[in-house]
């Protein structure tokens, strides 16, 4: 028996959650073995990828043993009991550090669990650790972390995408079964595309933000990063739902999202926004997306060109609104109550200045200054109020689109992953990486990213599906169909 386990255990960490669940239920493997193997993998790849900021090895192995004991004594517990997960380091885990990958919070220990963390603990899942990210979730490449950049598991000299790069890299490298990330302008979907995994940005208000350290409160949303679409539906089942502690949480009946995976999608109307296909997409990305479109047409889906006319204003609108909200949210980090405090200051004003100057990185300071500027007297109406009005126009574009189509399809990014350092000194080019993802956050709609092939250098290419608010069912139906029938 021991020899058999040693032979099989090498394969366990490469499996999906829905493949491991029956193995745990039949006790073909123990949760303790599984968690132990994941930590062996983490210890091997962490020096290469830098995917984790902190690890909870002792606590995880203890929790895994409890899960095994309960399964042995009671037959079964929660279905996901004993399954390992990694958590982005801007989501609070009680007793663990929540650094947001910033010097400002490098020693901050959370006194409470985020709602999503409590929900996964209620399912007796096992937290492996907290994953690396762009500082305060501000970035598209995971290069702004105080703890150093995360590297792409497929090509170590390339970015994993941001800001949830550590979460995506941990899943893609089999250093986590699945992960939680957060998405403010594409921060789940871009890393999923770069690393070749599945990522979902849920409808705004579907998943509680309580315990998520705020970047831009009207845009932030927690979501799953997984190995395939079925795992994504499984994890959303757990984390979705109303939370009275989050004023933006919507009271919405939560279905079993896995029920939608095998639904017939023939006759589904799929929209292609002409503004997203008008240029700027790398030819290999365009070719991969076009191949999916042609295959869907052959399968009986109705493909239609649509227009989202205010797309060109999405990038400036997003960076004005998100930076304004960041300026307000990050004002609390002043070195007084918690967080980094500079030494050698002469007055309280000097302490504020030095603590914030030393505690924040360059990208965070850039966005704070931009946000403070657009909120200041004389510029508030010219920039911030105008951006809010354009945001409404962008949302109206989508509302009209849902009258014509069921789902919108486009690339997740105009390119595949780029080299580390290639764009870090050119914020404008870096921000353009968000061009296909940020409108989703501005409109509050859900979007799913899944792999749809590779380029000639074997970099993953990401496909994005969008749907109307709370129509995650459509995303899972079409996403699963594409995964199983088109791009396998």
Tell me what pLDDT residue 138 has: 97
**Token pair belonging to 227:** 């190995």
What is the distance in angstroms between the CA of the first residue and the CA of the last residue of the chain?
A: 34
163-172 residue pLDDT tens: 999 999 999 9
For the entire predicted model, the pTM comes to: 0.96
Q: Is 249 left (phi over 0), alpha (psi -120 to 50) or beta?
A: beta
Tell me what pLDDT residue 9 has: 52
Section 262-275 average pLDDT? 96
Section 276-283 average pLDDT? 90
The catalytic site residues sit at 88, 163, 187
Q: DSSP characters for 240-265?
A: BS--TT-TT----PPP-GGGGTT---
380-412 residue pLDDT tens: 999 999 999 999 999 999 999 999 999 999 999
Fold match between 2-260 and 269-315+382-471?
yes
109-160 residue pLDDT tens: 999 999 999 999 999 999 999 999 999 999 999 999 999 999 999 999 999 9
Residue 75 has pLDDT above 80, yes or no: no
**Cα separations (Å) of 130 from 91, 173, 314?**
8, 15, 31
Separation CA 487–CA 338 (nearest Å): 49
**Cα separations (Å) of 390 from 272, 320, 323, 382, 383?**
22, 11, 16, 12, 10
Residue whose C-alpha is closest to residue 486's, from 444, 457, 453: 453
Residue whose C-alpha is closest to residue 325's, from 247, 213, 164: 213
Separation CA 458–CA 461 (nearest Å): 9
Tell me what pLDDT residue 20 has: 97
Section 444-472 average pLDDT? 98
pLDDT category at 278 given cuts 50, 70, 90 is confident
As a whole number, the mean pLDDT across the chain is: 95
Tell me what pLDDT residue 488 has: 75
pLDDT category at 80 given cuts 50, 70, 90 is very high
284-329 residue pLDDT tens: 999 999 999 999 999 999 999 999 999 999 999 999 999 999 999 9
- Helix, strand, coil tally for the chain in percent (to 5): 45, 15, 40
Fold of 269-315+382-471: Amidase signature (AS) enzymes (3.90.1300)
Query: 2-260: which CATH architecture?
Result: Alpha-Beta Complex (3.90)
Separation CA 134–CA 228 (nearest Å): 24
Domain ranges of the chain: 2-260, 269-315+382-471
Task: State percent of the chain over pLDDT 70.
Answer: 98
Tell me what pLDDT residue 10 has: 54
Residue 56 has pLDDT above 90, yes or no: yes
Tell me what pLDDT residue 188 has: 98
Task: State percent of the chain over pLDDT 90.
Answer: 92
- Dump strand ranges (E) for 337-469: 407-411, 447-454, 460-467
Section 463-479 average pLDDT? 98
Section 341-349 average pLDDT? 92
pLDDT category at 3 given cuts 50, 70, 90 is very low
Tell me what pLDDT residue 2 has: 32
Residue 51 has pLDDT above 70, yes or no: yes
419-428 residue pLDDT tens: 999 998 888 8
DSSP for residue 486: I
4-23 residue pLDDT tens: 334 445 579 999 999 999 99
Other beta carbons within 10 Å of 62:
14
Residue 337 has pLDDT above 90, yes or no: no
């Amino acid at each position: 028996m021991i020899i058999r386990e040693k032979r099989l255990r090498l394969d366990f960490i490469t499996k999906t959650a829905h493949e491991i669940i029956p193995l745990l239920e039949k006790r073909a493997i123990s949760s303790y073995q599984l968690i132990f193997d994941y930590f062996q993998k983490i210890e091997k790849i962490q020096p290469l990828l830098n995917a984790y900021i902190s690890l909870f090895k002792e606590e995880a192995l203890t929790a895994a043993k409890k899960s095994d004991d309960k399964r042995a004594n009671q037959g079964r517990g929660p279905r996901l009991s004993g399954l390992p997960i990694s958590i982005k380091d801007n989501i609070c885990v009680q007793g663990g550090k929540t650094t947001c990958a910033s010097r400002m919070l490098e020693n901050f220990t959370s006194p409470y669990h985020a709602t999503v963390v409590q929900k996964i603990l209620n399912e007796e899942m096992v937290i492996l650790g907290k994953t690396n990210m762009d500082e305060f979730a501000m970035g598209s490449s995971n290069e702004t972390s105080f703890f150093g950049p995360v590297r792409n598991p497929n090509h170590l000299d390339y970015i994993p995408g941001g800001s949830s790069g550590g979460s995506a890299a941990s899943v893609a490298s089999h250093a986590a079964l699945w992960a939680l990330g957060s998405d403010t302008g594409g921060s789940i979907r871009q890393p999923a595309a770069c690393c070749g995994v599945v990522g979902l940005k849920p409808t705004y208000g579907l998943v509680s933000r309580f315990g998520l350290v705020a970047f831009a409160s009207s845009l932030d949303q927690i979501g799953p990063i997984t190995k395939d679409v079925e795992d994504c539906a499984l994890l959303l089942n757990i984390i979705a739902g109303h939370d009275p502690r989050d004023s933006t949480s919507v009271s919405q009946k939560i279905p079993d999202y896995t029920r939608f995976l095998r639904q017939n999608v023939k006759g589904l109307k799929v929209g292609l926004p002409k503004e997203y296909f008008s240029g700027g997409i790398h030819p290999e990305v365009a070719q991969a997306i076009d191949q999916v479109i042609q295959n869907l047409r052959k399968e009986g889906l109705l493909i239609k060109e649509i227009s989202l006319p205010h797309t060109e204003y999405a990038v400036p609108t997003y960076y004005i609104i998100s930076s304004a909200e960041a300026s307000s949210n990050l004002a609390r980090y002043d070195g007084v109550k918690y967080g980094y405090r500079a030494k050698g200051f002469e007055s309280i004003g000097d302490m504020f200045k030095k603590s914030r100057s030393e505690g924040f990185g360059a990208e965070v300071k850039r966005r704070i200054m931009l946000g403070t500027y657009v909120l200041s007297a004389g510029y508030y109406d010219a920039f911030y109020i105008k951006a809010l009005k354009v945001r409404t126009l962008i949302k109206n574009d989508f509302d009209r689109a849902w009258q014509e189509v069921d789902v919108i399809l486009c690339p997740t990014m105009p390119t595949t992953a780029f080299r580390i350092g290639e764009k870090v000194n050119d914020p404008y080019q870096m921000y353009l990486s968000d061009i296909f993802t940020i409108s989703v956050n501005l409109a509050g709609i859900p979007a799913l990213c899944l792999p749809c092939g590779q380029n000639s250098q074997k970099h993953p290419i990401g496909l994005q599906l969008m749907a109307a608010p709370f129509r995650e069912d459509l995303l899972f139906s079409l996403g699963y169909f594409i995964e199983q029938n088109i791009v396998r």
